[in-house]
Chain A
Amino acid sequence: MSTVTPLGPFQALQVLVLRNYITYRTEWKLFLTGFLEPVFYLFSIGIGVGQLVEGFEFNGEPISYAAFVAPGMLAVSAFNGALMDSTFNVFFKLKYDKLYDQMLATPLTTADIARGEITWGQLRGASYSAAFLLVMWAMGLIGSWWALLALPAALLIGFAFSAVCMALTTWMKSWQDFDKITLAQLPMFLFSATFFPLTVFPTWLQWVVEVTPLYRGVVLCRELTTGSITWASGVSVVYLVVMGLVGLAVVRRRLDSLLLT
């Protein structure tokens, strides 16, 4: 009789990423067009609407409208990608495909599944973010070498939202529940200082926006591409790391109670 040795966390991760890669290979059109979305936004809002706007001040420096919007689009793209991957896709696999049930019949654990799904989403997101940064660079919208760190920053945003949204998805009962995701996603997308600075809001509302996670991501990316790093940038990083880790812990516990009991 042969014995099965359990997989280490890293081996498990490799297996899961490979599995997702194989199933996704036929969807290359969706993969390529996903990259175009933030670029279209940048051209339309940044350039088209940008000709109507004088430009803003950011951390005391004047900045063109396109340079203001572009890092916001980078953050939003990471945010949207993470949201789609970790809500619709995970819900489908959990409820209809029963994919995770099958995986747990193998030596994989719930923690492996959580880490594997999030890592896969991150790999996809990383390629979008890198391509977007190249577009920004080609358009002359990058003002500092700090911009190199905008790629890990985008990944951090993706990680934080993937973990939390995957956790939320475990509570969903039907597709109608996704309306609630849209209801949270759209205001965050439109009001997180992506298209205009926070100064348009009254002070109390500025405070509210400042504690929302996408705002931290948008500002972090903008600080990096313009090179105006401050101590507050560290706050954004810690915020997003903690959010991701908490999400990951919750996902693991929820998958345990959903699938192993």
Chain B
Amino acid sequence: MATLTLGEAVGRQYDYWWTVYKRTWKASVVSSFVSPIFYVLAMGVLLGGFIAGDPDQLEGATSYLAFVVPGLVAAHAMQTAVSETTYPVMGMIKWQKIYDSMVATPLRIRDIVAAHLLFVLFRLATTCAVFMLALAPFGVFETWWGPLLAFLSQVLCGMAFASLVYGWSARLRSEAGFGVLFRLGIFPLFLFSGAFFPIANLGEAGAWAARLTPLWHGVNLSRMFCVDNVDWPLALVNTAVLVALLVVGWSWSVTGLTKRLVS
């Protein structure tokens, strides 16, 4: 039997994912673009009007808007990644059984996972790019290159979540687990990983707990680049953590889906 390289195998799934995107992008407009802008207006612009722009208190940002925006985009990348790798993955395994038909072709499990995660990468890149471009007129970016690096770190942060959650969804039997993940995992991360306020406000222990969460690494990278207050060794640590999570998540996803579909 002819074997395909990873690149060829992923390429063969291009039509499928492009069709999925064409049929679903409209439904994602509200959650991807409209909701985040509402948050920026309410929290950044309006609530920010009551907050003094003290760089010592705001991790180097000169206004609350400049502080909150980079964190919000990173947190939004997490939410987009999670929503693309929970119900959709379970649907492909359990309800629509699309993965079953895919493994009946020369595609292997790693090809299927790679194509699905590339689709998530595409969704993350477009969502974060539009979000960052929409923010440019607010004057919150300090340099031209910072936002570019921030954008890459947001996408990396999203991909780390996507691969980890994918591995978990591939093993999950009932969708009831998602509700618990959202409420006990994603939602507290969204609120306490430094997106809305400096983690120093959580106290010594709280700040360390926040540093252990994956989202904080993404939020911190994104903010350091946007407000041009980069601590390079720390940036290296943040990047290393996210890359490590991505690698672990990838192999966890492949073994998870293999167990579920093949053996």
Chain A residues with CB under 8 Å of chain B are: 27, 29-30, 33-34, 36-37, 40-41, 43-45, 47-49, 51-54, 56, 176, 179, 182-183, 186-187, 190-191, 195-196, 200
Contacts and interface: CB of A to CB of B under 8 A. Distances in A.
A183 B35 CA distance: 8
B30 A182 contact: yes
B192 A33 contact: no
Chain B contact surface mostly:
helix
Contacts of A200: 46, 49
A186 B179 contact: no
Given A33-B179, A33-B180, A52-B58, 5 more contacts: A52-B64, A52-B201, A182-B35, A200-B46, A200-B49
A37 B187 contact: yes
A181 B71 CA distance: 26
17 contacts: A27-B176, A29-B180, A33-B184, A34-B183, A36-B183, A37-B187, A40-B192, A43-B192, A45-B191, A45-B196, A48-B196, A48-B202, A49-B47, A52-B57, A52-B197, A53-B50, A186-B34
B23 to A, nearest CB: 11
A30 B180 contact: yes
Nearest to B183: A33
Task: Return the 7 tightest CB-CB contacts between A and B, nearest first.
Answer: A44-B191, A190-B42, A48-B197, A33-B183, A179-B30, A52-B51, A51-B201
A40 B188 contact: yes
A254 to B, nearest CB: 25
Contacts of A196: 46-47, 49-50
Interface in B155-211: 176, 179-180, 183-184, 187-188, 191-192, 196-197, 201-202
Nearest to B41: A190
A41 B30 CA distance: 22
Contact of A195 (B31, B47, B52, B57): B47
Contacts of B64: 52
Contact of B30 (A53, A183, A190): A183
A30 B192 CA distance: 21
B27 interface: yes
Contacts of B49: 196, 200
A103 B31 CA distance: 35
B102 interface: no
B27 A176 contact: yes
B29 to A, nearest CB: 8
Given A44-B197, A48-B192, A191-B42, A183 B184 contact: no
Contacts of B43: 190, 195
B229 to A, nearest CB: 17
A182 to B, nearest CB: 6
A44 B50 contact: no
Contacts of B188: 40
B21 interface: no
A47 B188 CA distance: 14
A37 B183 contact: yes
Contacts of A36: 183-184
A51 B184 CA distance: 24
B39 interface: yes
B144 interface: no
Contacts of A182: 30-31, 35
Contacts of B201: 47-48, 51-52
Nearest to A190: B42
Given A49-B47, A52-B64, A195 B42 contact: yes
Interface in B43-76: 43, 46-47, 49-52, 57-58, 64
A40 B187 contact: yes
Contacts of A34: 183
Contacts of B52: 52
B98 to A, nearest CB: 19
A81 B64 CA distance: 30
Contacts of B42: 190-191, 195
Nearest to A44: B191
Interface in B1-45: 26-27, 30-31, 34-35, 38-39, 41-43
Contacts of B50: 53-54, 56, 196
A163 B63 CA distance: 42
B38 A53 contact: no
B180 A51 contact: no
A186 B34 CA distance: 10
B35 A186 contact: yes
Nearest to A30: B179
A34 to B, nearest CB: 7
A194 to B, nearest CB: 9
A51 B180 CA distance: 30
